[in-house]
Every structure is written in structure tokens, then in C-alpha cells.
Amino acid sequence: MSTWNGVAEAYRRSFATLCAGTDDTLVEATGPAHVHLDVGCGTGSLALAAARQGRRAIAVDPDPDMVAVTRRAVSTSGLDVDVFGAGAPSLPLDDSSVDAVTANFVINHVSDPRASVRDLARVAAPSARVAMTIWPASPGPHLAAYASAAEGADAVPVPSSRLAPERDFERSPAGLAELAEDAGLRTEHAGEVHWTWRVTADDLFAGIAGGIAGPGRIHQAQTEAVREKIEERVRGLWAHYSADGGVLTFPVTAVLVVAVRP
């Protein structure tokens, strides 16, 4: 699996703004709640969105750099959010201790998705909602463009980061809902959510150059000459999505599952 160690700033500048596109959707999906746990909080935007709704927000992430970024965001927000280092499937919280749980683009990154979803279900109180997003199997246009650019630049391949078959799951609404059901949750909604991501080419490329996820792993494995070829090619492909002022606008699709703890 990909690691996020040491890439928090690159993530904050790039893909964090992409993932934040579902923040309000997830808060709304969890319904009325007093204690809201956000697992894999990243830069803290979702936990802060929950706190703005008057919830007692708890934000956890296994990466210390992400925890530090979230703490900085909380310190300037004036909101009350508890932030500490932790992650599923080893959440240091009591059973049935929170009223809402969110995991925004987390289950697609963990090494044991089933165990992780079971841990989310464990800490959820009866009637609490667990809302999760993942990326679907087909990459978005921003990543498809990078894959095309890398192929055109004769980039060397990197080892697959896919899970072993016995741990993997179908990256679809049905696949994520199956994990929820296996964890003892009752699925309320399994579908897709759509939005438009606005980002500059410089910020998006900063995330890839910084080693974020699959494209970042590929990019860092290349020689400097190949990286330059990829960058030139992918910026040309991204230009097709350029709007006024040079900002890129990408259509985005994600999987959303909302389930209830009986």
C-alpha cells in the first residue's frame, strides 16, 4: 500500500482540496450527532466542517505529519476539535462511544479494509451512521492523463500496490456496501457522488512530484529526464480542462456508502 509519511504538505496543496469536495456531503449524511469521529482526517477539513455544525469533533490520522497539519488548522479556526495519531483497525476508542463516523477516502488506502470497517462499526453507538467514500476502479481524468503521459514517456513500471485478493474488495458502491454489511452495519445508501474539482496545474503536479499515491510512486521511480518528459506531456493533457485564468476544472466521481449501526 502507499505511504503518506513525509508528504503532508504536498497533499495539503493538491489532493486535499480534491478530497474536501465530499466534506459537507459526509457531515450531512451522518445526520444529527453530538460526538463525530473522523478517521484518516488528513488536513482536518472534514472534522472542522463537523465542528462548525456544533459537534464535538475527534480527528485521527496515523501519519504524524497529517496530525500536525490538522492541529495547525484547528488552532487557527477557533473551533474545538480533538486531534491525535491513530487509525483503523486499531482505534483507541471505547465500543459504541461516538454518534457519527466518517472515513473520507480512507478504506481504499488501508491494508485490511474489512478489519478497518469493522473497527469503524465497533466505535459507533447504536443508531449512529458511518459514512465512507472511496475512489472507484476507473481513475478520474486528472489521473488518466498522468497514466497516458507516463506511458508516452516510456516510464519504468513500479510494483503493484494492489491488495492480495483475499483482502481486496470491489471498488464500487456494491463492494463498499458489502464491507459495511460484513461489519454488522445496515446500509442506508450506496451510490456515487459527483462534483467539480478546481485546481491549478502547479498545485496538482506538486502532489504528484511529492509522491502522493500511485502517480507519485511512479513519478519518483523515474530518472530526472523521464520526469521532465512526463510533466511536459501531462500538463499538455491537463490543459484541455483549463478554465478562465488557467485553473483546471475536472469532473469527479466518488463512491459513497452510508450505513447505520443497529
Neighbouring-strand partners of residue 61:
85
What pLDDT does residue 174 have? 98
| Segments making up each domain of the chain, as ranges | 8-138+161-198+253-260
Chain-centroid distance of CA 75 in Å reads 22
Name the percent of the chain lying above pLDDT 90: 93
- Prediction pTM value: 0.95
Backbone angles phi, psi at 42, to 5 degrees: 60, -120
pLDDT in tens, 53-108: 999 999 999 999 999 999 999 999 999 999 999 999 999 999 999 999 999 999 99
pLDDT value at 5 more than 80 = no
| pLDDT (mean) for 41-46 | 97
pLDDT in tens, 155-210: 999 998 889 999 999 999 999 999 999 999 999 999 999 999 999 999 999 999 99
**Would you call the peptide bond into 173 cis, given omega within 30 degrees of 0 as the criterion?**
no
The top-level CATH class assigned to 8-138+161-198+253-260 is: alpha beta
Which CB contacts under 8 angstroms, 24+ apart, belong to 49-56? 49/23, 49/24, 50/100, 50/102, 51/77, 51/79, 51/80, 51/81, 52/79, 53/27, 55/100, 56/80, 56/82
| pLDDT (mean) for 139-155 | 97
